[in-house]
């Protein structure tokens, strides 16, 4: 059995672990650097991954952004520390000659969750730094001809909503993401507020906290309804630190339940939790 060095590069955190025979060992996690200089991410990745290399047979990386030919293009550069694009394959090949596989983070997590739920048509949604998604139709993971398939966080939630980091107005991500929740919280409770604090306030019954989290959950519910009615998805798995937070999924379920039956689907928490991207990219690399 080969050992995979699995890596998950998110907008907030980078995780790395060895996975062999489905067993995860030596998992580490660091903060994603915020720098418009790609050299910073180069050095952070090298320092993080070097100690693992002699134990690994191949490297599988799940990352935020659109993946094409080993290059990450950020749809929303603020989710990649400000970088518009990043030569990930070139960075890794500078210090490792191991076989390398790269996939979008939400697509990777979808692949893990698909193996678990065993239905032919499903989707995964991460509500995290951004809002990402992945789609499996007829047992096939959709990546698209440019790697863009599944970027449902950039579907329209409100034509009069805030400007999204991708340049479009009113995307789901600009309303529902951890970043959007944090920004709404900062307006009320100051610059140190983040999505976690807003979630805590919501769960403690604060009316403003409830309003912000509810708006996020409603936008995700509408996105689910749009995906259901366009693609006939049977199961939606929910992940990301916002999506996995106590009480959040119930809000999504509540709003989806208000819709006519054809818009409804099963909605469940991701079985692999915050490890879905790591597990999924490791499985995908071996498929
Ligand atoms: P990444 O985007 O790097 O994959 P996460 O899934 O952890 O990382 O998402 C990061 C976002 O989730 C940040 O906006 C952070 O403030 C928010 N967050 C972290 N923990 C919680 C929580 N318990 N409740 C709500 N939001 C959270
Ligand atoms: C953004 C986009 C997606 C990503 C999603 C969730 C960038 C850099 N990323 O919509 O590719 O899947 O965020 O990413 O444009 P995360 O960092 O929140 O996990
Ligand atoms: Zn957008």
Dump pLDDT digits (tens) for 200-248: 999 999 999 999 999 999 999 999 999 999 999 999 999 999 999 999 9
Rounded Cα distance, 113 and 271, in Å: 7
The mean pLDDT of 33-59, rounded to a whole number, is 96
- Do residue 12 and residue 99 come from a single domain? yes
- Do residue 100 and residue 143 come from a single domain? no
Contact predicate 24/17, CB 8 Å: yes
- Do residue 281 and residue 251 come from a single domain? no
Which atom of ligand 2 is least distant from the CA of 178? 18
Give ∠ CA 205-249-153 in degrees, rounded to 5. 110
Residue 264 in any domain: the answer is: yes
Residue 65 in any domain: the answer is: yes
Residue 258 in any domain: the answer is: yes
pLDDT class of 35 with cuts at 50, 70, 90: confident
Which atom of ligand 2 is least distant from the CA of 166? 15
Q: How many domains does the structure of the chain reveal?
A: 2
Q: Is 216 in the pocket of ligand 1 (CB under 6 A)?
A: no
- Do residue 122 and residue 30 come from a single domain? no
- With a threshold of 0.85, does the pTM exceed it? yes
The mean pLDDT of 97-102, rounded to a whole number, is 98
Rounded Cα distance, 132 and 124, in Å: 8
Which atom of ligand 2 is least distant from the CA of 32? 17
- Do residue 157 and residue 202 come from a single domain? yes
- Do residue 41 and residue 182 come from a single domain? no
pLDDT class of 60 with cuts at 50, 70, 90: very high
| 143-180 tens-digit pLDDT | 999 999 999 999 999 999 999 999 999 999 999 999 99
The mean pLDDT of 13-42, rounded to a whole number, is 96
pLDDT class of 118 with cuts at 50, 70, 90: confident
| 200-212 tens-digit pLDDT | 999 999 999 999 9
Ligand (nearest to CA of 75): 2
pLDDT of residue 36: 86
Sign of the C-alpha dihedral, residues 206, 244, 11, 126?
A: negative
The mean pLDDT of 250-275, rounded to a whole number, is 98
The mean pLDDT of 73-92, rounded to a whole number, is 96
Residue nearest to atom 7 of ligand 2 (CA): 65
- Do residue 88 and residue 211 come from a single domain? no
Residue nearest to atom 19 of ligand 2 (CA): 10
Residue in this structure with the two tokens 């995979």, named with its chain if needed: 4
Could you give the percent of the chain with pLDDT greater than 90?
98
Residue nearest to atom 25 of ligand 1 (CA): 196
- Do residue 87 and residue 121 come from a single domain? no
Distances (CA, A) of 214 to 132, 162, 218: 19, 17, 6
- Do residue 56 and residue 121 come from a single domain? no
Residue 112 in any domain: the answer is: no
Q: How far is the CA of 204 from the centre of ligand 3 (A)?
A: 30
Which atom of ligand 2 is least distant from the CA of 150? 12
- Do residue 90 and residue 221 come from a single domain? no
CATH number for 90:
3.30.420.40
Residue 131 in any domain: the answer is: yes
Which residue range is the domain that position 124 belongs to? 117-270
CB within 8 Å of 161: residues ≥ 6 apart: 169, 170, 171, 174, 175
The mean pLDDT of 88-115, rounded to a whole number, is 98
Residue 1 has pLDDT above 90, yes or no: no
Q: Is 242 in the pocket of ligand 1 (CB under 6 A)?
A: yes
- Do residue 188 and residue 248 come from a single domain? yes
Q: Is 179 in the pocket of ligand 1 (CB under 6 A)?
A: yes
Q: How far is the CA of 255 from the centre of ligand 2 (A)?
A: 24
pLDDT of residue 69: 95
- Do residue 121 and residue 263 come from a single domain? yes
Residue 110 in any domain: the answer is: no
Residue 111 in any domain: the answer is: no
Residue 189 in any domain: the answer is: yes
């Amino acid at each position: 059995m080969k050992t995979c060095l699995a890596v998950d590069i998110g907008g907030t955190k980078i995780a790395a672990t060895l996975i062999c025979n489905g067993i995860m060992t030596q998992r580490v996690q660091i903060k994603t650097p915020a720098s418009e200089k790609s050299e910073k991410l180069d050095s952070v990745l090298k320092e993080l991954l070097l100690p693992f290399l002699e134990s690994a047979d191949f490297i599988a990386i799940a990352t935020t952004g659109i993946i094409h030919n080993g290059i990450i293009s950020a749809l929303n550069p603020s989710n990649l520390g400000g970088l518009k694009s990043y030569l990930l394959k070139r960075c890794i090949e500078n210090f490792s000659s191991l076989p390398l596989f790269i996939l979008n983070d939400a697509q990777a997590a979808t692949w893990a969750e698909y193996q678990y739920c065993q239905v032919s048509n499903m989707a995964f949604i991460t509500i995290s730094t951004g809002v990402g998604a992945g789609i499996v139709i007829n047992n096939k993971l959709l990546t698209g001809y440019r790697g863009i398939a599944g970027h449902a966080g950039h579907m329209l939630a409100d034509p009069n909503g805030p400007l999204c980091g991708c340049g479009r107005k009113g995307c789901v991500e600009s309303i529902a993401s951890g970043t959007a929740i944090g920004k709404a919280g900062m307006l009320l409770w100051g610059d140190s507020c983040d999505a976690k604090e807003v979630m805590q306030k919501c769960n403690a019954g604060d009316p403003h906290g409830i309003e912000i989290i509810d708006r996020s959950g409603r936008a995700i519910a509408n996105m689910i309804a749009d995906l259901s009615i366009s693609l006939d998805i049977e199961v939606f798995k929910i992940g990301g630190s916002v999506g996995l937070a106590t009480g959040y999924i119930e809000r999504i379920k509540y709003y989806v339940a208000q819709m006519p039956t054809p818009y409804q689907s099963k909605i469940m928490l991701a079985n692999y939790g915050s490890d879905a991207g790591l597990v999924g990219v490791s499985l995908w690399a071996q498929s």
